[in-house]
Amino acid sequence: MAKSNPPFMSGVPELLLLRLLENREMYGYELVRAIREVTGEAISLGEGVIYPVLHSLERNGSLKAKRKPVGGRTRVYYALTKQGRGRLEDLQEDWRRIQTGIESALESPSHA
């Protein structure tokens, strides 16, 4: 049976966050700056909206959060878990499948 497609944009913040946290732990503000940098500012979101996604990922075991005192403030750093790596692989696979499908649709002659 063909795998169903996830909602087009709903998994994008999740995918980006997991990808960015693959190599090192980061806190929210750092993650938003990193998203801007790696996407060439192509994706901009209300910055506060990142936190519900981070909390959901933590709740489902993809991330773990740790408080660290830095420069007089307590930062919440997020790190990828083993389960999160698996989730990242699934999301990457989904994304590539959609990307391939859309590219093929764009390259094919119009049926209109």
Partner 1 sequence: MREPDFNALASRLLRNGVAPRHAHRMVNEIRDHYDDLVDAAVDAGRPIRTAREQAGRELGSFDDLVNEVSNRRELKTWAFRYPHAAIIVYPLACLAALPAMPVYAGIANAPVLARWGASLLAAGLLTAGLLLVLQLSILFG
Sign of the torsion angle spanned by Cα atoms 58, 62, 67, 69:
negative
Tokens of 71: 């420069």
By C-alpha distance, which of 15, 28, 18 is closest to 62? 18
**Binding segment for partner 1 among 18-26, 43-51, 85-93, 102-110 (CB under 8 A)?**
43-51
Tokens of 57: 């990922």
Among 32, 63, 88, 91, binds partner 1 (CB under 8 A): 32
Which positions from 79 through 98 interact with partner 1, judged by CB under 8 A? none
Least CB distance to partner 1 at residue 52 (A): 5
Least CB distance to partner 1 at residue 75 (A): 7
Check residue 46 for interaction with partner 1 (CB under 8 A): yes
Least CB distance to partner 1 at residue 72 (A): 11
Annotate 2-20 with three-state secondary structure.
Answer: CCCCCCCCCCHHHHHHHHH
Amino acid at 58: E
The site for partner 1 (CB under 8 A) is made up of 27-29, 32, 45-49, 51-52, 55-56, 59-60, 73, 75-76
